[in-house]
Each structure stands twice: as C-alpha cells, then as structure tokens.
Amino acid sequence: EKGTYPHFMLKEIDEQPIVMRKIINEYQDADNALKLDEDIRKAMQETDRVYIIAAGTSYHAGLVGKEFLEKLANIPVEVHVASEFSYNMPLLSEKPLFVFISQSGETADSRSVLVKIKELGHPALTITNVPGSTLSREADYTLHLHAGPEIAVASTKAYTAQIAVLAILAVDTAQAKNLNLDFDPLQELALVANAMEVLTDQKEEVEQLTRNYLATTRNAFFIGRSADYNVSLEGALKLKEISYIQAEGFAGGELKHGTIALIEEGTPVIALATQENVNYSIRGNVQEVVARGANALVISMKGLEQDEDAFVLPKVHELLTPLISVVPLQLLAYYAALHRDCDVDKPRNLAKSVTVE
C-alpha cells in the first residue's frame, strides 16, 4: 500500500533508511558480530574468483560490490551482464563462485546463466529480495535483502539493500580469512541510515535542482570516477527509464575520448565528487564540460565540497558513498518524471520482472 504517498517509488526511496536498519538487525548476532550462514562463509573462503551475474540496476549494485570484495576481502571479482555471459562465457578460474544479484529472483537472463553453470558443477549464491524465487531455489545458497516488497518498476531500495548486503558479505569473508580490517560494516551502515534520512528530508532542494537542470532538456550526462562512476551509471538508468530523458553515465576521464562532442550550450552534466583521491581530477572534467557550455551540477561529499557545488552529501565511509550519492539521483529522476507527467511507477515498455530472455 502506498498510504499517503503519491507513488510507490517515492515511498520506496523514503524507506531506504528503514531497510538499512533492518539489514543491520538481520545480519547481527547477540554479540554485535556479523551473522551469516556458515556454508556461505565456507564457499567464500574456498573460491579463487567471484563471478557476479546480474542485469540493470542489480548489475550496477554488482559493480559496487566488486570493490568491496576486492578491497576488503581480497578476492578477485568479475561482474557480468547476465544476457552477455549467457552466450559468451569467459574463461573461468579454477574455483569460481557465482553470485547472482536479483531483486525479483526471476530474471530470465540470470536464470539462463545459473542453469549453465550448474551443468558445469559450479557453486552459486543468490542475493535476492524474494527468498522463494527461482534464482533462490536453484542456487546453493541465498542471502536475503530484507528490503520489503518493491512495487515501483524503477528499483531504488533494492539497489541500496544489495549494496549493503554485499558490504556485509565482503567484511564477513575478510574476517573469516583473518584479514585485519578497520571497518565495522554494521556501525558504518547505521551512519549511512542516518545520512539517508537527512537526504530524504531534502526533497524540496532536489526538486528545485530538477527545475534548474532538467526542466526542458532532451539529454543529460552523469559523470564520476571510481565508485562515483558506478553510481553515475545507475543515476542515468533511473533518469532514462522513468522520465525518458536520454541519459548516459560516463567515467569522468573517458568523456574527452569522444562523448564530449555531444556537450552543447546548456547540456546538463551531473557530476559526483565523493572520492578524495579523484576529487581533483573529476573537477578538471567538470571544467572541461563547462568550458563547452555545459550546465554542471556537482554533487559532492562533505569535506570535499567547493563553493560552486549545488548539493553536498553528509559524510559517510568512503566505500559506502554509493548508498547515499544515489539518493539525490533517485529523487532527480522522480521529479523529472513527475514534471513531465510520466507514469512514475509504471514506465512505458518496462515490466517489474523480466522473465523472457
């Protein structure tokens, strides 16, 4: 039920802090340590390479998860679009572990990969919001997202739940491997939940940004480097799927290799700046597009902000910034769709779960 909300999407954006707290509870034991299935822990310890398989927004969450697993748990990770992997399988490592990320657990493209890798005898873990779903039943292990039903076609709270669960999985694996980490995911996720609440209270500001930057445009670019690049892909997907504005996410440094030709007077470029080590270089990329007439909207994180930034995010752990930088992007997409009289919850040509290949 959407209660007093005009759309499920807005309700689901607002539920994200609650979902973070639910995940913290579900994955915490009585001693405040991480609680995870022993078999999953073992599978993570035994693998020499994780293959993440997903589609759309879940694929974007997988890109963020790769960073967690590589940086925290020291496991090499490949992230693949399910529909591509299915027909063009890469060379596999000796002990691959397949991780399927799927809100619905019913995506046919992912299922087709699951069937193939099971024939080859490889283990599979499904991370899903629907524990009884096909991908959950057919995999060896399941991690539950605990996001509650997601009704709007555009995925919001499932994306952030996927990222939170991937962070927990990475840290649990690191602990099982006795790696020394100075990162408590449950504490950091609690801070993320608070930051998300601050952001969901800033709807009016984001609505105003939508008017300033996206009111009449036919296209928009999202740029970022490193973790921000992964989120810029998701920001672009949200905007295009519900507002029908043509949008693309790009790595900040890659624009000049071709795409910058599309920048004209007034082209909106939404830049994320949440990562200290690339703050200087992403700002260089912003200057490059501004010099060609772009209308640049910089979203930075507290501590890295500059005077001209239009929106400053509360500070959270640098690895977890995708969980908060995506919130204003979800809201931008929402208001852009609303202002264009689009059907926010049921965009044209799309279904909530894609059960055909």
Cβ closest to ligand F6R, residue 83 vs residue 285 = 83
Among 16, 47, 86, 103, binds ligand F6R (CB under 6 A): 103
At position 272, the amino acid (one-letter code) is: L
What the block records as the tokens of 248 is 């693309």
Q: At what angle are helices 16-26 and 157-176 packed, to 10 degrees?
A: 30
Asked if 108 touches ligand F6R (CB under 6 A), the answer is no
Q: Edge-to-edge strand order for the sheet containing 77-81?
A: 77-81, 49-54, 96-102, 124-128, 141-144
Site string for ligand F6R, 145-164 (x = CB under 6 A): ---------xx---------
Asked if 235 touches ligand F6R (CB under 6 A), the answer is no
Asked if 126 touches ligand F6R (CB under 6 A), the answer is no
Instruction: Judge whether 245 and 220 are in contact, CB under 8 Å.
Output: yes
Residues 82 and 102: their CA atoms lie apart, in Å, by 11
Among 16, 47, 57, 330, binds ligand F6R (CB under 6 A): 57
Cα-based angle 146, 48, 40 (whole degrees, multiple of 5) = 30
Instruction: Judge whether 239 and 333 are in contact, CB under 8 Å.
Output: yes
The residue range among 30-38, 49-57, 196-204, 312-320 that interacts with ligand F6R, by the rule CB under 6 A, is 49-57
Instruction: Judge whether 201 and 313 are in contact, CB under 8 Å.
Output: no
Least distance to ligand F6R from the beta carbon of 105, Å? 7
Among 16, 83, 104, 300, binds ligand F6R (CB under 6 A): 104
Site string for ligand F6R, 182-221 (x = CB under 6 A): ----------------------------------------
Asked if 134 touches ligand F6R (CB under 6 A), the answer is no
Residue 334, helix vs strand vs coil: helix
66 is catalytic: no
Instruction: Judge whether 246 and 240 are in contact, CB under 8 Å.
Output: yes
Cβ closest to ligand F6R, residue 154 vs residue 223 = 154
Residues 6+ apart with CB under 8 A from 61: 54, 101, 159, 162, 163, 166
- Interface with ligand F6R in residues 239-268 (CB under 6 A): 241
Cβ closest to ligand F6R, residue 202 vs residue 353 = 353
Asked if 69 touches ligand F6R (CB under 6 A), the answer is no
Task: State how beta strands 295-301 and 124-128 pair.
Answer: unpaired
Among 10, 23, 51, 58, binds ligand F6R (CB under 6 A): 58
Report DSSP state, residue 347.
Answer: -
Site string for ligand F6R, 294-333 (x = CB under 6 A): ----------------------------------------
Among 7, 20, 23, 56, binds ligand F6R (CB under 6 A): 56
The residue range among 8-16, 99-107, 282-290, 297-305 that interacts with ligand F6R, by the rule CB under 6 A, is 99-107
Residue-wise burial string across 75-89, b where 16 or more C-beta atoms lie within 10 A, e elsewhere = bebbbbbbbebbeee
Cβ closest to ligand F6R, residue 163 vs residue 186 = 163
Asked if 342 touches ligand F6R (CB under 6 A), the answer is no
Percentages of the chain per state (helix, strand, coil), in multiples of 5: 50, 15, 35
Residues 168 and 174: their CA atoms lie apart, in Å, by 10
Cβ closest to ligand F6R, residue 47 vs residue 57 = 57
DSSP class per residue in 239-271 = HHHHH--EEEEEEGGGGGGTGGGG--TT-EEEE
Residue 168, helix vs strand vs coil: helix
Cβ closest to ligand F6R, residue 104 vs residue 243 = 104
Asked if 344 touches ligand F6R (CB under 6 A), the answer is no
Residues 107 and 114: their CA atoms lie apart, in Å, by 11
**Residue number with the shortest CB distance to ligand F6R?**
56
Q: Which residues are catalytic?
A: 352
Q: Which parts of this chain interact with ligand F6R (CB under 6 A)?
A: 55-58, 102-104, 107, 110, 154-155, 237, 241, 353-354
